[in-house]
């Protein structure tokens, strides 16, 4: 038995352009039949009428169809509806008139007449019917473009809302990660016995972390300065646990403008990922660096790359995709993720408070 799939004839599975062409030819045949009943007794005149109608129909359809595709690349209905409407009318009119004049000129030359007849009153009166077809084709093509764009926007909005809900659920799950609380309580137990003053500070920082989590989880964005203060408290707790195995660099307190905002707990996700996925020891510490770029347009979080093996329950692999989805809901600027031989780098766009 042959393993090759049977050959399918183009007529059995026509391509989209072939189906469209056959449809337009069918429409042309119908128009020819109903607009030239006297041609029924003259096959040659019927054929000429059909060919002219087909050239008009196909030419006008293509002129308006390609104008839709061309305009969609430069001016969308959603971004500038008034400008798009004006350009649509102008481009459609110019393209359609060009098609009509070319077909008319071909017909004049076919009959051996003077090309100057193209601008005579006789032929000007003959433009009315082609322009009616133009209006129909143009209305259909541009209405279709508008409706498809509107449907795509609705689908994209629904998808972003779903991803945002999933991201918020994952964020909440990570915010209340029992492993973090378990490790924090273990560290606190040792401090209470050995360093009571540091234990008091530890408790205060732990309360600040959870207070921020409770305050921020219902907000869409938070000031970047607040997010960095939270990161300091979070990393203070981690430093108690890791000691010299964790080295951290943070932006200076006065370096962050007040109108810079980010999604809440973005840094917590990145910091937890760095600690979870990389090994750290006093001899080979894990370096974490959070920095603003010179232009103040993005925040970079980078850590030394020293991967460790995780258990099946330790990583779901959805933290970064959820963070990316949250950003997609707020801005068109992407979250950039880069992995080199030495570092793992995530660049977050900085949003501006309205």
Query: Which pLDDT does position 319 carry in this prediction?
Result: 75
Angstrom distance (rounded) from CA 59 to CA 49: 15
Domain ranges of the chain: 16-158, 176-352
The string of pLDDT tens digits covering residues 56-86 is 777 777 777 777 677 777 776 667 777 777 7
Helices (H), 176-298: 178-194, 196-216, 224-242, 266-277
Between the alpha carbon of residue 101 and those of residues 106, 121, 149, 313, 341, the distances in Å are 8, 14, 32, 71, 64
Angstrom distance (rounded) from CA 344 to CA 302: 6
What are the tokens at 129? 């019917």
pLDDT range class, residue 345, cuts 50, 70, 90: very high
Q: Where is average pLDDT lowest: 41-50, 172-181, 220-229? A: 172-181
The string of pLDDT tens digits covering residues 270-304 is 998 898 888 888 889 999 999 988 777 899 999 99
Between the alpha carbon of residue 342 and those of residues 235, 276, 280, 302, the distances in Å are 22, 17, 14, 10
> Would you tell me the crossing angle of helices 43-74 and 81-110 to the nearest 10 degrees?
150
Mean pLDDT, range 1-14, rounded to an integer = 40
Contact 206, 184 (CB under 8 A): yes
Q: Where is average pLDDT lowest: 44-58, 79-93, 308-322? A: 308-322
What pTM does this model have? 0.54
The string of pLDDT tens digits covering residues 143-163 is 776 777 778 777 877 776 766
10 or 41, which is more confident? 41
142 pLDDT above the threshold of 90: no
The string of pLDDT tens digits covering residues 231-259 is 998 898 888 888 889 999 998 867 788 88
Query: Which pLDDT does position 336 carry in this prediction?
Result: 92
Q: 176-352, what's its fold?
A: Heat Shock Protein 90 (3.30.565)
């Amino acid at each position: 038995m042959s393993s090759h799939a049977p050959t399918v004839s183009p007529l059995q599975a026509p391509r989209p352009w072939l189906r469209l062409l056959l449809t337009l030819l069918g429409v042309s045949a119908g128009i020819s039949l109903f607009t030239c009943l006297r041609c029924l007794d003259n096959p040659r005149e019927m054929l000429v009428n059909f060919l002219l109608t087909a050239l008009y129909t196909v030419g006008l359809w293509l002129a308006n169809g390609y104008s839709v595709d061309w305009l969609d690349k430069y001016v969308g209905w959603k971004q500038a509806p008034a400008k798009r409407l004006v350009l649509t009318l102008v481009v459609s009119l110019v393209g359609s008139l060009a098609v009509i004049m070319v077909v008319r000129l071909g017909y004049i030359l076919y009959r051996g007449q003077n090309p100057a007849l193209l601008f005579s009153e006789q032929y000007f009166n003959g433009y009315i019917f082609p322009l009616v077809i133009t209006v129909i084709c143009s209305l259909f093509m541009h209405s279709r473009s508008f409706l498809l764009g509107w449907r795509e926007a609705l689908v994209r909005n629904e998808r972003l809302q779903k991803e945002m809900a999933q991201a918020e659920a994952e964020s909440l799950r990570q915010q209340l990660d029992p492993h973090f609380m378990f490790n924090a309580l273990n560290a606190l137990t040792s401090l209470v016995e050995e360093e009571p003053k540091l234990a008091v500070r530890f408790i205060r920082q732990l309360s600040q972390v959870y207070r921020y989590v409770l305050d921020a989880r219902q907000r869409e964005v938070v000031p970047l300065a607040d997010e960095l203060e939270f990161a300091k408290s979070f990393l203070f707790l981690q430093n108690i646990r890791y000691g010299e195995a964790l080295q951290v660099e943070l932006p200076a307190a006065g370096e962050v403008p007040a109108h810079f905002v980010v999604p809440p707990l973005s840094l917590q996700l990145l910091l937890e990922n760095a600690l979870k996925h990389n090994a750290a020891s006093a001899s080979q510490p894990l370096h974490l660096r959070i920095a603003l770029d010179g232009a103040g347009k993005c925040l970079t979080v980078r850590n030394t790359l020293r991967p460790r093996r995780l258990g099946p329950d330790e990583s779901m692999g959805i933290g970064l995709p959820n963070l990316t989805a949250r950003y997609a809901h707020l801005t068109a600027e992407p979250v950039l993720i880069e992995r080199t031989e030495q570092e793992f780098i995530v660049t977050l766009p900085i949003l501006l408070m309205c």
